[in-house]
Amino acid sequence: MPSTDARSNLAGSVLRPLWLDTPDRPEPRAPLSAADTSRTRGLVVVGGGFTGLWAAVRAKEREPSRDVLLLEGERIAEHATGRNGGFCEASLTHGEGNGRERWPEEYDELEVLGLRNLDEIAATIERHGIDCGFDRSGVLAVATRPHEVAGLEPDVEGFLDATAVRRVLASPTYLAGRVSRDDCATLDPARLAWGLARVAETLGVRIAEHSPVEGITQRRDHVELTTLGLTLRAEQVVLATNVFRPLLRRLRMSIVPVYDYVLATEPLTPAQVEAIGWTDRVGVSDSGNQFHYYRLTPDDRILWGGYDAIYHFGRSVDTAHEDRTESFETLARNFAETFPQLQDVRFTHRWAGAIDTCTRFCAFFGVTRGRRIAYATGFTGLGVGASRFGADVMLDLLAGEPTERTRLRMVREKPLPFPPEPIAWIGIQLTRWSLAREDATGRRNLWLRLLDRLGLGFDS
């Protein structure tokens, strides 16, 4: 598709995450007030995305009498949680390849724990009647270049050749595919987050929005947090601030923000859905390093995201990075190539979000300051499901009781940090360039092989 066509299909789109663009978005809760600081709180959760919300809900489920307060700097689900593709995967390790490579001896256990985590997310949604379009139709992995076919294991049962995969979804670009049904659901992430916030409040959690925590200091028998000129005391703290400037200095080199871009179309007509044969609502992901993820929304739009992954010098997180014409036009062109049947379909929404990327490509966890402060971050673009596991890990670590989770090497180990600038920037650009080359040629160059040998995961 020429750039002019891509441009015209994007012309009426608004720069706004689809999920947040609804009159159903709840009004913000009141910020922290002096009255909230009158006593030492049991547990203060910082961050109102999935990780913080699950931590608040799980803390009350585990110990109903616990005094829990959640502080969100902006609004619930404002960032990654309200901007993602809504693929809720069982994987805790950003896929089997990454998990088996790093923790081969415990991977089977990680898989069991991940599936149980997804089952428990489904059970929570069901129990509390959270209307978030949860649909466990699974995910279809597709190959669109000849060298990607082998990765879908042609000799293993369930492999779909070109004819078979195009019966699941009719794109002329598909060469092969594989569906896995039970380990992925799609959902509306903002509605799940708003539902979790409501559940947390029903369980007795106080949620304060527009209350950014500026500092955190350990005192002899409590932790002090400062926000809005107020000082709050807490027995224990959960940090769930994802890609934002970590309140703990030790985490500053461990993650880098990488921007990911997304489009959503207008709702398709039944005839358009039929033209591409997308009947069973399976989510889709293609197999390149620069991969697209896409799915039908509950109102039959196509959400189409991924491909570009943009890092800005100095670990910069800034709303100015969100409107990147080049990335949106690339997405629109690739969409047209995948679904030529939909060439007249318009995009109504375009947006971006920052991904908390770490060198092991999946979340890491820790506890510090005499078991008073726990953190979970580094989900690297796969945190919709894994955030609940991360929340439980943090609560386990704060409780100080060994559990099946805290015994895992995956939980005990930390990723290698990124180097300082300008080396980080140069390394990330070189890696991006090399990954794009591998997509084009099917060959991993020296740089990627060196990273593989160092155990630095860039093989999503």
Ligand X SMILES: Cc1cc2nc3c(=O)[nH]c(=O)nc-3n(C[C@H](O)[C@H](O)[C@H](O)COP(=O)(O)OP(=O)(O)OC[C@H]3O[C@@H](n4cnc5c(N)ncnc54)[C@H](O)[C@@H]3O)c2cc1C
Q: Which residues bind ligand X (CB under 6 A)?
A: 46-52, 71-74, 78-81, 83-87, 89, 212-213, 240-242, 244, 247, 260, 262, 293, 305, 353-355, 379, 381-385, 387
Nearer Cβ to ligand X, position 6 or 20?
20
Q: Which is nearer to ligand X, 18 or 175 (CB)?
A: 18
Shortest distance in whole angstroms from residue 294 CB to ligand X: 10
Of 395, 22, 35, which Cα lies nearest the Cα of 236?
Answer: 395
Q: How far is the CB of 107 from ligand X (least distance, A)?
A: 19
State which residue, 194 or 293, has the beta carbon closest to ligand X. Answer: 293
Measured between alpha carbons, how far is 39 from 110 in angstroms, rounded to an integer? Answer: 39
Number of Cβ within a 10 Å radius of residue 116: 12
Taking the complex as a whole, the smallest distance from the CB of residue 373 to ligand X amounts, in Å, to 13
As measured in angstroms, the least distance from the Cβ of 441 to ligand X is 27
Q: How far apart are CA 150 and CA 72, in angstroms?
A: 45
Interhelix angle 423-441/446-454, rounded to 10 degrees, is 120
Q: Which is nearer to ligand X, 175 or 373 (CB)?
A: 373
Minimal distance, residue 231 CB to ligand X, in Å: 14
Closest distance between ligand X and the C-beta of residue 405, in Å? 17
DSSP 406-427: TTSHHHH--PPPPPPTTHHHHH
Q: What is residue 350's DSSP assignment? A: E
Closest CB to ligand X among residues 111, 260? 260
SS3 230: strand
> What's the first-to-final CA gap in the chain, in angstroms?
27
Supply the minimum distance, in Å, between the C-beta of residue 433 and ligand X: 22
134 or 293: whose CB is closer to ligand X?
293
Of the pair 74, 452, the CB lying nearest ligand X is at 74
Q: How far is the CB of 352 from ligand X (least distance, A)?
A: 6
Least separation in angstroms between residue 134's CB and ligand X is 13
Q: Identity (one letter) of the amino acid at 439?
A: D
CB of 411 closer than 8 Å to CB of 398? no
Please enumerate, as own/partner, the contacts of 3-8 that have beta carbons within 8 Å and a separation of 24 or more.
3/329, 3/333, 5/336, 5/343, 6/329, 6/332, 6/333, 6/336, 7/329, 7/332
Record the tokens describing residue 232, joined without a space. Answer: 């709050």
User: Looking at beta carbons only, is 149 or 303 nearer to ligand X?
Assistant: 303
Q: Is the peptide bond before 298 cis (omega within 30 degrees of 0)?
A: no
If the CB atoms of residues 139 and 276 are measured against ligand X, the closer one turns out to be: 139
Q: Which of 50, 11, 107 is nearest to 377 (CA)?
A: 50
The span from the CA of 377 to the CA of 387, in Å, is 9
For ligand X, the closer of residues 166 and 432 by Cβ is: 432
Q: How far apart are CA 371 and CA 238, in angstroms?
A: 11
Q: Which is nearer to ligand X, 398 or 448 (CB)?
A: 398
60 and 397 Cβ atoms separated by less than 8 Å: no
What does the block give as tokens for 13?
A: 């789109």
**Cβ distance to ligand X smaller for residue 28 or 212:** 212
Annotate 27-53 with DSSP letters as a single string: PPPPPP-GGGGSS-EEEEEE--SHHHH
Shortest distance (Å) from residue 386 CB to ligand X: 7
Integer Cα distance of 382 and 387 in angstroms: 9
Q: What are phi and psi of 353, to 5 degrees?
A: -150, 155
Query: b/e map of 415-431 (b: 16 or more CB within 10 Å)?
Result: bebbeeeeebbebbeeb
Query: Measured from the CB of residue 175, what is the shortest distance to ligand X in angstroms?
Result: 24
Minimum gap (Å) between residue 161 Cβ and ligand X = 27
b/e sequence 72-86, b meaning 16+ C-beta within 10 Å: bbebbbbbbbbbbbb
Q: Enumerate residues 6+ apart whose C-beta is below 8 A from 329.
A: 3, 6, 7, 10
